[in-house]
A and B are shown apart, each in its own frame.
Chain A
Amino acid sequence: MKKIISLFTCFFIVLGFTQVSYAESETLKRLKKQGYATVAVANEPPYSDIKSDGYVTGAAPDVARAVLNVLGVPDLKAEVIMYGAMIPALQARRVDMATSGLYIKPGRCESIIYSEPDLCGAEAFAVPAGNPNNLLTYEDIAANPSLKMTTCAGCAEEKYALERGVSADQIVYFDAPPSGIKMLQQGRVDVFALSGLGTADLLNKTNDPNLELVMPVTGVPMGCAGAAFNKDDLEFRSEYNMALAMLKATGEFAAIIEPYGFSAEATASKSYLTQCPDGM
């Protein structure tokens, strides 16, 4: 009898396990099998940073790596993709996720889905030292049509600018943030706009006394980013959120993002649903 009971127990345990693996999303199964996830990053430290040997790091990929580890996917492979092109890349499944500080915005939620917010931060400008045009808000740029600003095509800063009256002719798009700073140094543009921590990091590395940081830019919301997924990956997104919540609860999340200058507390106060009410 004992033998039969233990056999049954074994049977149910095995059944339990198969059920667990059965509940796994197709996407997660595929990623586990291949041993890595392909992610889109923008190479904008501290959000995402590709080392010269190709290793991808930065706050967003590090969070994603930790979350995927919990889910059983050991590695990340990164592709550098411009912000505007990340959504088409997700839709075409060229990448499994975008982990690069892609802000959660209602317009984007129509095309893709996000995890719960992982990185929140203020916005910034970089300007010539002394801020000769006295630029503190996007409205200040709009007020002087002879000024040129640079930012990335399809990123949140472009939308902030256009919504606040900056004309499309005033915007010069950079391919990568460092080339935007270069254009500012050379006087091709009057102001560089990007995330606060991203801009601060660039100015730090450029170490040019002729440039100055304006942070925070007032009149724009704090931008919150999350990992982004293809719209069909609802199940995978739930799995990701569960693992992310676990990391947030254990404090591991804070330990990952705080050295990069992000605040876990700022992130905790935001939820996906308040950012993207119609995004489900």
Chain B
Amino acid sequence: MEWNWDHAFAVLPQLADGLVVTIQATIVASLLAYVLGLGIAILKMSKSKFTRVSLYWVTEFVRRTPILVQLYVVFYVLPDFGIFLEAFTCGVIVLGIHFSTYTSEVFRAGIDNVPKGQWEAAKSLNYNPLQTWKNVILPQAIPPMIPPLANYLITMFKETPLLAAITVVELFRAADQYSNSHYTYLEPMTLVGIFFLIVSIPSAMLAMKLEKKFKQAKTA
């Protein structure tokens, strides 16, 4: 098996299209994971035991089942119950919900890290809950969350090939289709790996930098 540049150049435009879909899926899914994760974290602090316990079981259920199974259920099974979503939408919803169960832990830890006195201070200023969160808690809680959230972003990016299973033509599927009709995996799959590295290594370095910056700010 020898490297064939003709294949490598021929597959590039398709990979570029696939990369766009991969990045779109990553961005939409991670926004969903962040918003939902924050919501879960706040609701888990609720006074109602019912809310806390049911949320615990929902997040456990989502976290302990494979993403691939969840994708198949949303793509193939939900339409039988009248819920019909486009393949891409299915994919980002599943990824977003799945990772929201992890990001919620990051948010919870970040919120827990805000000293109790801050809550009391907000209370003494007669802030309502919205003001408390917006002006006091989140501004202190969010900066230390950024590095772990960035790491989940990179993890999600690497999980997007799973969407290929439900016909989303992202980076991996684009390469796979080329392989299937040209009988070669060497060039397409090598290039897919390189494309992923080109995006994920600088992102990981950026996340590390952010982490360092935050630590310095804390000790300063």
Which residues of A approach B to under 8 Å, CB–CB? Answer: 82-85, 87-88, 91, 108, 111, 153-154, 158-159, 172-175, 179, 182-183, 186-188
Contact = CB atoms under 8 A, between A and B. Distances in A.
B177 A188 contact: no
Contacts of A154: 177, 179-181, 183
Contact of A175 (B79, B84, B165, B181): B165
B87 interface: yes
A85 B165 CA distance: 15
Contact of B84 (A84, A85, A108, A186): A186
Contacts of A158: 181
B167 A174 contact: yes
B87 to A, nearest CB: 7
B17 to A, nearest CB: 10
* 6 tightest Cβ-Cβ pairs between the two chains A and B: A84-B180, A154-B180, A153-B180, A87-B183, A186-B79, A154-B181
A85 B179 contact: yes
11 contacts: A82-B180, A87-B183, A88-B179, A153-B176, A153-B177, A153-B181, A154-B179, A173-B177, A174-B167, A175-B165, A188-B87
Interface in B74-88: 76, 79-80, 84, 87
A40 to B, nearest CB: 13
A159 B181 CA distance: 9
A84 B167 CA distance: 16
B196 interface: no
Nearest to A178: B76
A162 to B, nearest CB: 9
Contacts of B132: none
Give the size category of B's interface with A: 10 to 19
A42 to B, nearest CB: 12
Interface in B184-219: 184-185
A88 B184 contact: yes
A179 B79 CA distance: 13
A111 B180 CA distance: 13
Nearest to B167: A172
Given A173-B167, A182-B76, A91 B84 contact: no
A154 B179 CA distance: 8
Contacts of A186: 76, 79-80, 84
Nearest to A159: B181
A172 B76 CA distance: 15
Contacts of A84: 177, 179-181, 183
Nearest to A185: B79
A180 B176 CA distance: 18
Given A154-B183, A183-B167, 9 more contacts: A84-B179, A84-B181, A88-B184, A153-B176, A153-B177, A154-B181, A172-B167, A186-B76, A186-B80
A88 B183 contact: yes
Nearest to B76: A182
Contacts of B181: 84, 153-154, 158-159
A172 to B, nearest CB: 5
B185 to A, nearest CB: 6
Nearest to A169: B169
A91 B183 contact: yes
Contacts of B1: 91
A146 B79 CA distance: 21
A179 B185 CA distance: 24
A88 B1 CA distance: 11
Nearest to A183: B167
Interface string B162-180: 0001010000000011011
A96 B63 CA distance: 40
Nearest to A180: B167
Contacts of B183: 84, 87-88, 91, 108, 111, 154
B85 to A, nearest CB: 10
Contacts of A188: 87, 167
